[in-house]
Structure 1
Amino acid sequence: MVGPFPLSKLGMLIIRQISRPIANSMKERAKKSYFFRTYVCMPPAQLYHWCEVRTRMWIMGMERSGAVPKLNETMAIELGGNMIGEGIVFGIAATILVYEYNRSAAKEEAREADQQQRLLELDSRLDDLRFTVEEQDAKIRELRRLLAVPAGPGWTEPGRRPPS
């Protein structure tokens, strides 16, 4: 089984490798830009840090042991850049996944529509053949009646029993 699993892992590895430079450029931008550092990078990092520390304290049973100290600016920028980079990786992967799902669903829908069309065509042809057989049967009966030719061996008209 060498199918899609290794290819999906390879695709995710490629996406991660592409996103790393994006995350690094965001970290550099955060170091240089006050707005980016203050409003884009640091708040999610501080929130993540607060949630992580609170969760660890809750797990260890130290629920009310005081305020959570904030990360220093360097660590917050680093963590925020990593979070944004991982968010980009997740966003790209989710977008690709949704695109592939929609593409395969559309492909399956087209295949179903094509199969339905073929079935309708076959039904139509079958109805045409039935009509043609009935028409020819009526013509054969009319010709036999006009010619007054007795039926051949084993032949019976509809509704008649063969001679015993």
Structure 2
Amino acid sequence: MVIGTFPIGKVFIFTMKQISKPVSKVLKSYARHHPFFRRIVCIPPGQVYNNLEVRLKLHLLKLKQPKRVPPLTPAMATRIGADILGEVIVMSIGVFLLYYEVTR
């Protein structure tokens, strides 16, 4: 008989979100000062995310797809790209830790 379950999944997800905020803040700061990192690493994922998001929203609303989605400004694309990279880094660490625990 189960008396109660501790929502460890919610705690894990909340912790990962809290950890990703400083990571993305560091990435944004780094991108602000290094144009190569900003141009090659941060802006392309931000633009791809914007393109996919706009097309998905239009598809879900059953509206006509545009031939070309207007690109974001470099500052917005950098911010979104850094957020995405921060989430990817934190999630990869979490997946690695889960994999390590399962194989151990």
Q: Structures share a fold, TM > 0.5?
A: yes
Unmatched runs of 5 consecutive residues or more in structure 1: 104-164
Displacement, 1:2? 3.6
Measure the CA separation in 1 of the matches of 2:17 and 2:58. 32
- State the TM-score, normalized to the length of structure 2: 0.83
Whole-angstrom CA distance in 1 between matches of 2:20 and 2:55: 30
* TM-score scaled by length of structure 1: 0.55
Q: Do the aligned residues in 2 keep the contact of 1:54 with 1:63 (CA within 8 Å)?
A: no
Aligned to 2:57: 56
Q: In 2 relative to 1, CA 2–81 (structure 1 residues): closer, same or farther, beyond 3 Å?
A: same
After superposition, the Cα gap between the structure-2 partners of 1:61 and 1:89, relative to the gap in structure 1 and judged at 3 Å, is same
Determine if contact 2:47/2:71 at 8 Å carries over to the other structure.
Answer: yes
1:59 deviates by 2.3
Counterpart-to-counterpart distance in 2, 1:52 and 1:44: 12
Higher RCO (Cα < 8 Å, 6 or more apart): 2
Secondary structure of the structure 2 residue equivalent to 1:56? helix
SS at match of 2:67: coil
Is the contact between residue 16 and residue 91 of structure 2 (CA under 8 Å) also seen in structure 1? Answer: no
Per-residue deviation, 1:17: 2.3
- 2:47 aligned residue: 46
Q: How many pairs were matched up?
A: 101
Highest CA radius of gyration, 1 or 2? 1
> Residue 11 and residue 58 in structure 1: after superposition, are their counterparts in 2 closer, same or farther (change >3 A)?
closer
Cα distance in 2 between the residues matched to 1:58 and 1:10 = 34
- Secondary structure of residue in 2 paired with 1:68: coil
Residue 31 (structure 1) shift:
1.1
Q: Partner of 2:102 in structure 1?
A: 101
Identity %: 34
Give distance in 1, aligned partners of 2:37 and 2:65: 33
* Structural mapping, 1:86-97, within 5 Å: 86-97=87-98
In structure 1, C-alpha distance between the alignment counterparts of 2:89 and 2:66, rounded to whole Å: 35
The answer (yes or no) to whether the contact 2:46–2:81 under 8 Å persists in 1 is: yes
Is 2:19 the counterpart of 1:15?
no
Check the 8 A contact 1:22/1:85 in 2, yes or no: yes
